[in-house]
Amino acid sequence: MATQRLLGLMRTGATDRAIARELDVSLRTLNRRISRLQSLLGAQSRFQLGALATEREWLAAVPSSGE
């Protein structure tokens, strides 16, 4: 599973269950991978994980719906 794809799905606000289904992994595997990312970046929360991933430019720019 690509980190950018996982983070991109998290950014949409999708539930963990929906993300796991989209990535074709179990919910447990998804949660383990999110925990590993949090640990890697030293993030205490998923919000902080998103902020740190953005700072490191791990997320591709997505144009807003108005563009």
Residue 40: CATH number of its domain = 1.10.10.10
| Cα 53 to Cα 27, 29, 41, 58, 66, distances in angstroms | 22, 20, 8, 5, 24
Distance from chain centroid for Cα 56: 13
Total domains in the chain come to 1
pLDDT score, position 65: 46
> 44: domain range?
3-55
Residue 37 domain-assigned?
Answer: yes
Task: Print pLDDT tens along the chain (67 aa).
Answer: 488 899 999 999 999 999 999 999 999 999 999 999 999 999 999 999 999 999 998 886 554 444 4
Environment class of 41 (CB within 10 Å of its CB; exposed 0-12, middle 13-18, buried 19+): middle
pLDDT score, position 59: 81
